[in-house]
Amino acid sequence: MPDTAHRFICDSMLGRLAKNLRMLGFDTLYARLLSPQALAQIALEQQRIILTRRTVFSKSTAADSVVYIRSNDPKEQLREVITACSISRAFIRPFTICLRCNVPLADLAKKAAAGRVPDYVLSTVDHFAACPSCGRVYWKGTHYANMADRILAIME
Ligand SMILES: [Zn+2]
């Protein structure tokens, strides 16, 4: 089993997929303004898998580094990536990457979370994480449970 998880770069049509992959803990760039050539260059330099809905990549890029996403449905798109890249559960680490910034989250002490999350959250949750870039605080609340259910459904 490889000791590093897959890294991705999504084209401009796959912003939602990029966010969902970050939610699962995958380092994922969202290349909204890049040409296909520039995107392919970054993918090559950073060893990222290109996720795309465009067919232009079939001519310009090594086939094994591109996954063509067929579905319009975000959940189905995620399933396509998981299947195409043979991603196992061991590599899914929810809430380890900021959904906005794509940077790893840092642990945040409960004391330090006070004032940064709603009081009811502070009284029921023990583990927090924060983004060192934007400061957003994450915790495993209801949203996390819902997401975990969704992931398990996709992996089955
Ligand atoms: Zn952030």
Distance 110 CA to ligand 1 centre (A): 19
CA dist., res. 106 & res. 45, Å (int): 26
- Can you give the pLDDT at residue 156? 64
20 and 53 share one domain: yes
User: Could you tell me if 102 and 28 are in contact, meaning their C-beta atoms sit under 8 angstroms apart?
Assistant: yes
* pLDDT score of 34: 85
Measured in Å, residue 44 CA sits from the centre of ligand 1 at: 25
pLDDT of residue 94 exceeding 60: yes
Total number of domains in the chain = 2
User: Is residue 81 domain-shared with residue 123, that is, in the same domain?
Assistant: no
pLDDT for residue 152 is more than 70:
no
Q: Which residue has the higher pLDDT, 4 or 109?
A: 109
- The model carries a pTM of 0.85
Mean pLDDT of the chain: 86
- Residue 67 lies inside a defined structural domain of this protein: yes
Q: Name the residue range of residue 59's domain.
A: 8-91
How far, in Å, from the CA of 114 to the mean position of ligand 1?
A: 19
Tell me, in angstroms, the distance from the centre of ligand 1 to residue 49's CA: 22
Ligand 1 centre to CA of 62 (Å) is 32
